[in-house]
Structures are given as C-alpha cells and as structure tokens.
C-alpha cells in the first residue's frame, strides 16, 4: 500500500486511516431528502446487514453521532424502564456501558474481571442464576481499552439458553472478527462507521432483532436516540428523521464497496492479523512487552507496557513518533503505564514495519533504553 495520501497514519482504533477512494467520496454535497441520497442510505443498510448475515432476523438502524450515541440509543430503546441490565466489564468501555445504563434510570448489575481476563460463559451463568430479575446482558465483544476478545458465541448461547436478551457492543470487531447472526443469538449488535469497515467517524448503527424492536414504541426517554422512531420513519419514508451526516454516509458506502471487492470479512481479518503479527514481532524484538496473552489478543489494537527507563514519558514519545508520520494511542489502564497501537485502517504490514522503525528512531532520539537488548539488533529483526 502507498503512503502518498496518508499523513499521518493513524495507528488508533478509530478514527483511522481511510483510503483515497473513501476520502474522495466526501467531496460531493448531497441533499438529505433527495432520492439519490436515500438510495445510498438503503444500500449502506443492506451491505452492513449482509456482513453478519442478518437479513432474515434483524434490521439495521443507522444513527447520527459516534458509536457511543448508538450504544445509548440501543440501551434506552431496548431495555424497558423497569428492566434490569447485567453489564460484563473488563475494561473502560464496559464501564462506560454500565454508566450510561445507570444514567438512563435502568436497574444495573455488573460482573467485572481484570483487564486481562476475559469474561466466560460460566461467569455469566452464575450471575444470571443468582438473580432471576436480570432481563438483559451487555457485552463488549472486543474491549478497545486493551484489545482483549471476549467469547461472544459462548456467552450468546448461554444468555439465549437462560431466556435473557443480549446487547453486544461490537465497535472494534464488526467487519473483521466473524459474527454470524444465524449462528450467534443476540437481540442487538452495535457498531460504527469509523472502525473495521474503514469509513470516517460520524455514524453508528444497530442491528436489532425485528420482533424485539417492534415492541419498543415509546420506550426511549430520548427523542434523538430513539431507535424505534428512527427505524419506523426510515421504513416509511426512506429518509433519516433529522439531518443525516451525508458526507459520512456516502463515504461509508464507498468503504463498503471496497470492503466487498477486497473479499469482505475474511480478507479484512487476514490483513489485520498480518498487521498485528508484524507489529508484535517488531515491538517485542525491541524489548517491548505485550499486555495481553496471545490467546485472548484480538488483531485490532495492541497494548504495550511502557519502557521502564525513567527518561520515558508518553507525551514526548508520542510527539517523536508523530513527527515521523504515525499517531499512537495512549494507554487506558489506571494501574499500569501502557500505550496502544492500532492494527486497523487502510494500512498493511508495510506501514506497520515503517511504524516500528519510527518507534525505534524515537526511542533513540529520546535516549530511552529498552531493557538489556541492544536497540540496533532489535530493529534489524523488525525491519
């Protein structure tokens, strides 16, 4: 892949680096009620739904705003006001889901593990069996604060077997990690435009089981985030209720065109996995340590322990790497000094190798030593 149109490359979990074709799609203005734009919206909804093979059971409800808007919309619309939500937490985004659930006045319970420990189906079984009042379970599929992958298929089967409703935050997994609605039972799955489908940020979307959404009229306490009203209005008129992010929608359409042409989810996963493998090999050769065990590491974003050299501080390190054309992500852990490097976006292993070299050069510029391993030898292996 070429670096010509990428300055800087975003090694973050979204916004991320997009292709020139996706950027170019945003150069045209669109009327929000125009039939041609409505056709684009319908095509985007259809293509998104096809990624998880959900046409027979679920509807795709797009929503303006970041992914968190759609998460809040889903909880507020789908969980009854007297409902009881169990949120599974092993990172910052699970905590955010719990916070917004409580802020909307829904009853909340949580089950929390350490940041490097996935939630298991057995954990969920114990929680549900201990409290029959729980109606809904909220799961973060890939917890972006570390990159940990939680076992969605096993938890989904368990929740369905206990007769409860599952709401999945799939922000960082949708489009890359396999999810098949015909094999994995869930009532709602939430994602956004600026992640693994490689569009710009600004649009979220929720796949909701149609038979569930049909029962949700008047449930939401928010006007703008009411998924039921958004869905029924869009079905009736083909239009968005309120001003849509037109440029984002057409760019997502362009990104999905490229996604399909490149081979869809399997191809996207292979590229990200190659990026992740290249990144970890290069960084560990320099002496960096990965936070997660390889068995639970998703190829989306990798958390690294910070150098132990007292000369290290994230901001100067970030600035040095940025000056070399790459933007890293700060750590999200409270107890450990870490930073994160994303593997997603319109990039491949060649860009990752350049990024590893940028990290090496930045360490040298700052005079930071990595353990006892000679830095020059480490970079020779990573290059």
- pLDDT, tens only, 15-62: 999 999 999 999 999 999 999 999 999 999 999 999 999 999 999 999
Confidence of residue 278 (pLDDT cuts 50, 70, 90): very high
Phi, psi of 368 (to 5 degrees): -95, 130
| Model pLDDT, residue 374 | 41
Domain 9-13+264-382 matches domain 31-261 at the CATH topology level: no
| Model pLDDT, residue 182 | 97
| Model pLDDT, residue 181 | 98
* Residue 134 to residue 136: CA distance in whole angstroms: 6
* Residue 369 to residue 310: CA distance in whole angstroms: 9
What residues contact residue 47 under an 8 Å CB cut-off, 6+ apart?
Answer: 253, 256, 259, 260
Inter-residue contact 290 to 284 (CB < 8 Å): yes
Confidence of residue 335 (pLDDT cuts 50, 70, 90): confident
Convert 11-28 to b/e letters by CB count within 10 Å (16 or more is b). Answer: bbbbbbbbbeebbebbee
Report H helices in the chain.
20-24, 35-51, 67-78, 92-103, 121-130, 152-161, 210-213, 227-237, 246-262, 264-286, 314-323, 349-366, 375-382
Confidence of residue 378 (pLDDT cuts 50, 70, 90): very low
Per-residue pLDDT averaged across 187-191, rounded?
98
* Residue 88 to residue 130: CA distance in whole angstroms: 15
Spelled out in words, what is the top-level CATH class assigned to the domain 31-261?
alpha beta
* Cβ atoms within 10 Å of 318's Cβ, excluding its own: 17
Per-residue pLDDT averaged across 82-88, rounded?
98
The per-residue pLDDT of the chain, averaged, comes to 94
Confidence of residue 246 (pLDDT cuts 50, 70, 90): very high
Helix axes 35-51, 246-262, angle to 10 degrees: 40
Confidence of residue 333 (pLDDT cuts 50, 70, 90): confident
Inter-residue contact 300 to 344 (CB < 8 Å): yes
Per-residue pLDDT averaged across 268-286, rounded?
98
The domains of the chain are located at: 9-13+264-382, 31-261
| Model pLDDT, residue 376 | 42
What residues contact residue 144 under an 8 Å CB cut-off, 6+ apart?
Answer: 13, 91, 92, 93, 171, 172, 300, 301, 332
Inter-residue contact 10 to 16 (CB < 8 Å): yes
Per-residue pLDDT averaged across 315-339, rounded?
92
Show the tokens assigned to 190.
């939430």
| Model pLDDT, residue 319 | 97
Residue 370 falls in which region: left (phi positive, over 0), alpha (psi -120 to 50) or beta: beta
Confidence of residue 78 (pLDDT cuts 50, 70, 90): very high
Confidence of residue 383 (pLDDT cuts 50, 70, 90): very low
pLDDT exceeds cutoff 60 at 329: yes
* Residue 170 to residue 140: CA distance in whole angstroms: 6
Per-residue pLDDT averaged across 187-215, rounded?
98
Per-residue pLDDT averaged across 215-234, rounded?
97
Show the tokens assigned to 253.
């359409």
CATH number for the segment(s) 9-13+264-382: 3.90.1150.10
* Residue 136 to residue 124: CA distance in whole angstroms: 11
| Model pLDDT, residue 4 | 41
| Model pLDDT, residue 380 | 35
* Residue 158 to residue 228: CA distance in whole angstroms: 27
Per-residue pLDDT averaged across 341-364, rounded?
98
| Model pLDDT, residue 112 | 97
| Model pLDDT, residue 379 | 38
């Amino acid at each position: 892949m070429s670096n010509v149109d990428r300055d800087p490359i975003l090694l973050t979990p979204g916004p991320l680096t997009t292709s020139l074709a996706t950027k170019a799609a945003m150069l045209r203005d669109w009327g929000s009620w125009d039939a041609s734009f409505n056709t684009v919206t319908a095509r985007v909804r259809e293509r998104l739904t096809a990624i998880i093979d959900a046409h027979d059971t679920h509807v795709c409800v797009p929503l303006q705003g970041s992914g968190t808007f759609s998460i809040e919309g889903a909880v507020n619309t789908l969980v009854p006001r007297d409902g009881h939500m169990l949120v599974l937490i092993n990172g910052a985004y699970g905590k955010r889901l719990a916070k917004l659930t409580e802020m909307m006045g829904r009853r909340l319970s949580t089950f929390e593990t350490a940041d490097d420990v996935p939630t298991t189906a057995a954990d969920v079984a114990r929680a549900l069996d201990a409290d029959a009042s729980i109606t809904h379970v909220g799961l973060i599929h890939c917890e972006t604060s570390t990159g940990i992958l939680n076992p969605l298929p096993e938890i989904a089967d368990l929740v369905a077997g206990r007769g409860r409703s599952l709401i999945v935050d799939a922000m960082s997994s949708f489009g890359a990690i396999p999810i098949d609605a015909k094999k994995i039972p869930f009532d709602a799955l939430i994602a956004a435009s600026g992640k693994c489908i490689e569009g710009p940020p600004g649009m979220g979307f929720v796949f909701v089981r149609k038979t569930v959404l049909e029962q949700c009229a008047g449930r939401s306490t928010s006007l703008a985030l009411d998924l039921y009203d958004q869905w029924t209005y869009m079905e009736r008129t083909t239009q968005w209720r309120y001003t849509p992010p037109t440029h984002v929608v057409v760019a997502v359409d362009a990104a999905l065109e490229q996604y399909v042409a490149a081979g869809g989810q399997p191809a996207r996963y292979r590229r990200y996995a190659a990026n992740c493998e290249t990144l970890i090999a290069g960084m560990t050769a320099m002496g960096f340590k990965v936070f997660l065990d390889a068995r639970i590491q998703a190829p989306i974003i990798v958390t690294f322990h910070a150098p132990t050299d007292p000369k290290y501080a994230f901001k100067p390190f970030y600035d040095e790497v940025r000056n070399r054309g790459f933007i890293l992500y700060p750590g999200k852990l409270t107890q450990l000094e870490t930073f994160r490097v994303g593997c997603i976006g319109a990039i491949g292993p060649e860009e990752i190798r350049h990024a590893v070299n940028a990290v090496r050069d930045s360490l040298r510029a700052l005079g930071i030593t990595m353990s006892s391993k000679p830095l020059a030898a480490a970079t020779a292996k990573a290059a």
